[in-house]
Amino acid sequence: MRGLIRPDVVWFGEQLDPDTLTHAFEVSEKAEVFLSVGTSAVVMPAASLPVVAKRSGAYVVEINPERTEISGMLDEFIEGNSGEILPEIIKRLDEV
């Protein structure tokens, strides 16, 4: 079979699947810890997920090369590349 293979992503300008988005908001409201990783935090509605989690009582950590508009309202900001930071977090959790 020949042809293009589409990755499982949403391209700029495309709509998110409504069921997936509803589920994302539901689990964000129930989260105890929420990691916001590598986002500009400006493209709605997904950008509001960390805020929803925070308002629902989650401990919210932003991991990003630079601060965003929502950084100040979250619990923690970790500056850097997610490809370096996330493996380090996993390594430290494995040590506990």
CATH number reported for the structural domain that contains residue 75 in this entry: 3.40.50.1220
Binned at pLDDT 50, 70 and 90, residue 1 comes out as low
Position 67 scores a pLDDT of: 96
Q: Say if 59 falls within a structural domain.
A: yes
pLDDT of residue 70 exceeding 70, the answer is yes
- Pick the more confident residue, 70 or 43: 70
Per-residue model confidence (pLDDT) at position 7: 83
Q: Which residue has the tokens 């989260």?
A: 31
Domain that holds residue 39: 32-95
* 91 located within any domain: yes
How many CB atoms neighbour CB 67 within 10 A? 13
Residue 25 lies inside a defined structural domain of this protein: no
| Gyration radius (Cα) of the chain, Å | 15
How many domains does the chain fold into?
Answer: 1
Tell me whether residue 7 is in a domain.
no
pTM of the model: 0.83
Residue range 83-95: mean pLDDT, rounded: 94
Average pLDDT over residues 39-45: 86
Residue 52 lies in a domain: yes
* Pairwise pLDDT comparison (43 vs 76), residue with the higher score: 76
**Does residue 53 fall inside a structural domain?**
yes
For tokens 């409201």, name the residue: 29
